[in-house]
Each structure stands twice: as structure tokens, then as C-alpha cells.
Structure 1
Amino acid sequence: MAVEPTASSSHLDLSTAQVIKTPITTATGSLLSSSAYEKNASVDSSFLGPLHELTSRIARWRDALDLPDPGTYEQVGREAKTVHLTNYIFDGARAELAKALSLSPAFNVTHSFNMGAQGGAMGGINPGTYSFGGMYATNNVFAQGTIDNDATLMGRFNYRWGPKDISKLQVQWPSNPTNPSVTQVEHERHGKDYALSMKAYNPNISNQSGIFITQYLQSLHPRFSLGIESVWQVMPPMEDASMSYLMKWQSAKKDWISTLTLQATGPLQASYWQRLSDQVEAAVDLQFLPHPSPRDRKAVSTVGLKYDFRQATVRAQADSTGKVSMLLEQRIAPMFTFSVAGELDHAKSQSKFGIGIQLESSPLDENALKGLTPPSPPM
């Protein structure tokens, strides 16, 4: 006896057919789309294949060379700068009181006093200045700021985004509107064998002005590096661009380093630094300023020596202009440093003398400092 299909059975058969039909259609469409994707991918691969192969070969070649990190463009020649007194000499009397409030994260405050230094109003003696500063540092953040008795604010802020990228901000905002303010934005990229830095001084979007600097330093040999710097100055309605080139050569043990910098405008600077022993370092610097007239050409050579004693550091320097200077930093106690500086210019019959003290204090005892590791902030 035949059974007539009911409405429910017809509905089930139709649903079953739809269920069976749907995955087949979907699978067919997926196969078609996959084939089209593979076809497009093969076209792209055949089009970009030579370029991809070239970049891969260059990457393998650079990895095989195992070139070191050359450091940043600005750090080239820092060994000679630590020997010379350009960044250390002072005159008059100064005192600095520093107090560490925390070690990890690092946090301290400073009080600085200066008086009697030359270079005041109308070339006279500076009556004296006071500044208050603070510093905070972690492994990824470095913040430092100072404000003086004239309400001039100076600050630095560095942030490490990752192992290769660091962003920096520096400001100097005077309270007097007649004095120019400075704002500098910078980003550094550190690769395995190169360093790239981009800076902007006083960028102004409204009038489209500023100074933009790009620096690149590349290791070509474990002992040899080359660098290039471009400077673009935009001061409407005028614009100017210049290039500088740098070379760095060092020994395998890094006990001597020589550098050479050539600017497009003509100035040439060469430096040589050598570690003579564990306590003694020597440095020589030469600056040449060319000029179409031989009488106006200038060259200055500087020789410096640094000696590290157990509780003191002595720096001495002499240049070809007849200027002789010396600095003594004596650590009388672990938290107390006494400094004496002197400079004598034989050509101009001028002299400078400075004396200073530096006192550090910490509320943390030795037990509290155990197990704490100072951070490595981005500098």
C-alpha cells in the first residue's frame, strides 16, 4: 500500500536538499576563489620575485658580515670629548646638592648655585644664579627638568618604544619673551649595523618653518663606519640645505678611535682618541675653517690628557691659540666631590678660575639598596 507524502515529509525532503546543496555550492565557490587567489599570488610573486630575491641576498650578506652597532651619529667622537675640557671647564664658584629619593625607578632632585662667573651683563661678572632640577628614569622613560631664578624652563623627555626605537623631546622656554625658545623633537632607530636619526628644531606648521636634520650611520666593516647628515632650514621666504659626511675608524680592541667630519660648507674636523693605559687617556682634535683668502683661513688644534686616580680625575688641555686649561675633581668622600678649574689664555692675557663642590645624599640605607638594580634609561 503506497503512502502518500505528507506536508511534513515534503518539508523535510526540501530542507535536506537545501542543506546538501548549500555546502556543495559553498565549497565550489571556495575552490574557485582559492584558485583565483593562487593565480594572483603567482602573478605577484613573478612580478616582485627579483626584488624579493635581491633584498633577501642583501639581508643574508649583512648577517654573514656580523657588523657591530656603530652608535648614533652624535656619539661619534664622544671619547675625545670626555678627555677635553670643553664640556667640563667652568669659572667662578658653584655648588650642587643632589638627593636621591629612589633607586628603582631612579628619582632625584638637585639644587645648583653659581656665582662670580664671567659673561654677565656688559661683559661683567655674573651676579649669581640658582636652579632646581629633577630627574626620573626607568628602563623605558627618562625625564629631566630644571628651572632657574629667571623662570627659564629646560626639560628633556625620552621614551623607548622597543629595543630599536627611541623618541626624544627637548625644550627651553625662557620667561622673557624677547629671548628665543627652543623645541626639539627627535626619533632614533637602531638597527643591527646602522643608526638612523630624524630631528626637527622649532617646527612651526602655521608659517611652515623649522630646521630638519636627518643623520644616518652605517657599519661597513667591524672597524669602519660611514655617516651622512642632511640639514634643511626653512625660514620663509628663504630655504637652505647642506650635507655633512663622517668617517669613523677604530682598532679591533677599541683602544683607539679616529674620526673625520667634512661639511659641505667647507669646515673640516678630525679627532683621535687613544687609551694609553687603564688610567690614562689622550685625545687630539683639529678644526680647519677654509676661506678663499689665505689670510682668513683658520685652523685650531687641541691636545688633551685625562688621568684617573683612585679618588680623583685630572684633565689637562692645550691648543694652538695659546690657551691652557686644567680641571681637578677630587672625591673626598663617597658623597662629596671638590673641583678646581683654571684657564689661561696667553694670546689675550686673560685667565679664569673656578671652584666647586658637589654633595650627594640618599635617605636609603644599605639594607634597602640590596637587591635593587638601577634602571637603564633611554639616552
Structure 2
Amino acid sequence: MPEFIERLMDSRKALNLPFPGTVEHISREVQMDVQLTRQMFTGIKADITKIGGISPAVFHMTHSFSSGSQMLPPYSLGAAFATNRIFMNGNVDNDGSVSGRFHYGWSPENARHTTKIQTQTTAEPGQSMLQVEHDWKGDDFSINLKTVNPSFLDGEFSAVSIAHYLQSVTPSLALGVEAIWQKPPSTAGPEETSLSYVGRYVQPTWIASAQVSPQGVLGMCFWKKLSQKVEAGVECQLISATGPMGQTKTEGTTTLAAKYDYLHSTLRGQLDTKGKLSCLFEKRLSGAVSLTFAGTLDHFKNDAKVGLGVNLEMPAFDDPSMMQQ
């Protein structure tokens, strides 16, 4: 290795920059932890989980039932298996739709290199999917390479390929880029490419992140830890597009969310500029039983939806305390 490269690497290590996370989860504190969009549901649902093992491998099976929901199937069966290097998860519902994930860590000591495969097959045309990706997590950077529905049919390659790179430049600031290459079959249209740029600034009690693309899309998130039990976040999405007559139209949505952690429960609330107010309350009644209440009120559409869920975890071993609960 040339001497100047060794000096450059030594200087970089001397900065002691932190791991920045990933581009895909650039705003995870707001979108995954505080906001309740990913957890919302309507109707009634019940999840019964049977834990088959904990160490050295984890295995559990889940029966899920739902009624009155437009998103959840009436019944689905899921199973998961995990070790220190392998993670497998599969799900099948009453309509015959099958989905699965497989993660393989190339080193048992750390998760620097991980290959992931995700599949989904359904009876609906155009809904089946195959996704292959690889994560490379360094000391102060992360790289993700992903391809969706790769195909070599008709003697040509077609897929949606995505590349992510995120690099810490200071102890608090990380900058990155996302590149997307869409290569459909020649009969489906021309290929397209796009770039977007991301940034993330971290402080002990607040985090700000942003993603912007030259195509006219801007996303910004701000997360704040108000106290030991209270977190809040705000997300703003702006989309600017050119109409058929050449006029530029800009639309935006701002979402404000908060999360409060009690001793055995969690309350989330969310309000956006489209007039939608949502709440999600999770209560653990015991070590094995938990209840979830979800509600959404759309003021502009004069529509209200509610959901009630119960989750039961059944251990595979005889635990006197669990049996008593």
C-alpha cells in the first residue's frame, strides 16, 4: 500500500468519527420511534406467539387473526429463526400470499457485512417481488447496494438498482448520497436515473436530518428528547412538480408526533396538516399479554376509524412466574 494512503487512513482513524447509521434509516427516530404510521391498524386483531427457544438460537411462531381491516388478512402464519449470524422470517396468509426474509452475517463477531434477501409471491399480477441487498458497515461509514426484481429474460437485464453511501465528516455531522437506476424491459419504457443527497446532525438531546433530490423532493425531520419519558418529532415533506402547461406546483405535508413512555405502557399521538389526528396506546397487562388501541380522526374527510389488538406470548419453557401471570 502506498505510504500516502497509509497516512491518510491513519489520519482518518485519529479523528475517531462515529458510525453514522444508514441512509435508509436517516430519520429513524422520527419515522420509526415516535410516529405511529407504521403501527396503525383498524378493526380487531389478535397475535398469538409461541416461543420455541431463546438460546443459542431464537425461534418463534405467530398466529395472527384480524377482522374489519382493509390492510391485514383475516389469518396469517409467521415464523422466525435467528442465530448470531443468520436471521430467517417467513409469513403466509389465507389468500396464499407468501413472503420471506433471509439475512446472513459474514462474520460472527460483528455485523460489518450482511447479505439480505427478501421475497414475496402473491396471486395478484405485478405484486410479486425479489430484493437482494448487501450492507457494509464501517467504523465511520455505511454502504448499501440493493437490486429489486432483477431479471435476464428476453436476453436483457432489467431491475431497479439502488446504492446508498453515508459518511461521518465530523463527530456530529454525516453526509451521504442515494443513487437509483431503473432499467425496465425495453418494451416497458426508457431507463431512468436519479440522485438525492442526505444529511444528519446529531446532538445529545436532538437530531436533525434532511434529504433533497434535484427532481424537486425535499424531506426534513427533527427529533427532540424532551425528558426521560417524552420524545417529540416533526417531519416536513415538500414536492415540487411541473404541470403539462409548464406551471410549477408545490405541495407539502407537515406531521407533528409525540411519544410518552409510562412504566408498562406507551402513548403515541400524531397530527398532520391534512387534518388527520391519530393516537396509539399500548398497554402491557402482564409479562405475556398486551393490549393495543388505535384511533384515527380525519377532520377534512369527516371519517373516523378505530382498532383494538391483543398480543399473547406463550413461552416454550415452564416459567412459574409466567404461568402465574
- For the pair 1:85 / 2:36, whether they are aligned, the reply is yes
1:223 and 2:172 are equivalent in the alignment: yes
Letter in 1 for 2:218: L
Q: Which amino acid aligns with 1:178?
A: P
Change (3 A) 1:129 1:86: same
In 2, Cα distance between equivalents of 1:188 and 1:144: 18
Q: CA RMSD, aligned part only?
A: 1.7
- Give the C-alpha shift of residue 75 in structure 1: 1.8
Residue 334 of structure 1 corresponds to 287
Which AA in structure 2 matches 1:58?
Answer: L
Instruction: Give the alignment partner of residue 198 of structure 1, picking from 105, 121, 145.
Output: 145
* 1:107 counterpart = 2:56: no
Q: Which residue of 1 aligns with 2:11?
A: 61
Kindly provide the CA deviation profile for residues 232-268 of structure 1, in whole angstroms up to 9, marking residues without a partner as x: 00013221100010000011x2x21100000231110
- Of the three residues 107, 116, 125, the one matched with 1:168 is 116
Correspondence 1:35-54 to 2 at 5 A: 52-54=2-4
Instruction: Say yes or no: does 1:363 pair with 2:316.
Output: yes
Equivalence for 1:11: none
Q: Which runs of 5+ in 1 are unaligned?
A: 1-50, 120-125, 370-379
CA displacement at 1:112 relative to structure 2:
0.4
Which residue pairs with 1:232 in the alignment?
A: 181
SS at match of 1:154: strand
Query: Does the CA contact (< 8 Å) of 2:258 and 2:269 recur in 1?
Result: yes
**CA distance in structure 2 between the partners assigned to 1:156 and 1:270 by the alignment:** 30
- Counterpart residue identity of residue 192, structure 2: D
TM-score, scaled relative to structure 1: 0.78
How far is 1:179 from its partner?
4.2
Residue 191 of structure 1, CA deviation: 0.8
Structure 1 or 2: more helix by fraction: 1
Residue 186 of structure 1 aligns with which residue?
Answer: 133
> Following the alignment from structure 2 to structure 1, what is the Cα–Cα distance between the partners of residues 216 and 89?
36
SS of aligned partner of 2:84: coil
Letter in 1 for 2:201: W
Gaps of 5+ in 2: none
Greater share of strand residues, 1 or 2? 2
Q: Decide whether the 8 Å contact of 2:240 with 2:248 is kept in 1.
A: no
Which amino acid is the alignment partner of residue 230 of structure 1?
A
Written as runs of structure 1 = structure 2, the 5 A alignment for 1:1-379 is: 52-81=2-31, 82-104=33-55, 105-118=57-70, 129-162=74-107, 163=110, 164-174=112-122, 176=123, 178-206=125-153, 207-237=156-186, 238-251=190-203, 253=204, 255-292=205-242, 296-366=249-319
TM-score scaled by structure 2? 0.91
Deviation of 1:363 after TM superposition, in Å, equals 2.3
- Decide whether aligned partners of structure 1 residues 276 and 351 sit closer, same or farther in structure 2, where only a CA change above 3 A counts: same
> Once the 2 structures are TM-superposed, how far is the Cα of residue 312 of structure 1 from its aligned partner?
0.7
What is the CA-CA distance between 1:366 and the residue it aligns to?
4.5
1:29-52, Cα deviation, whole Å (9 max, x unpaired): xxxxxxxxxxxxxxxxxxxxxx81
| DSSP-derived class of the 1:291 partner | strand
- What's the offset of the Cα at 1:292? 3.9
> 1 CA distance for matches of 2:248 and 2:286?
52
**1:14-42 deviation line (CA, Å, top 9, x unaligned):** xxxxxxxxxxxxxxxxxxxxxxxxxxxxx
Amino acid across the alignment from 1:114: S
CA distance in structure 2 between the partners assigned to 1:177 and 1:332 by the alignment: 39
| Distance in 1 between residues matched to 2:6 and 2:216, nearest whole Å | 39
Tell me how far apart the structure 1 counterparts of residues 303 and 281 of structure 2 sit (CA, whole Å): 20
Q: Distance in 2 between matches of 1:199 and 1:340?
A: 36
Q: Paired residues, what number?
A: 308
Q: Secondary structure at the match of 2:139?
A: coil
State the one-letter code of the partner of 1:216. Y
Give the residue type in structure 2 aligned to 1:281: E
Counterpart Cα distance in 1 of 2:317 and 2:51: 8
CA deviations over 1:67-112 (Å, ceiling 9, x no partner): 0111121121111021111101111111100010100110000000
Secondary structure of the 2:37 match is coil
Please state whether the residue corresponding to 1:55 is helix, strand or coil: helix
Runs of 4+ in 1 over 2 A off after TM superposition: 177-180, 291-296
Larger radius of gyration: 1
Q: Aligned to 2:39, what secondary structure does the other structure show?
A: coil
Q: State how far apart, in whole Å, the 2-side matches of 1:241 and 1:111 are.
A: 42
Counterpart of 1:232 in structure 2: which amino acid?
W
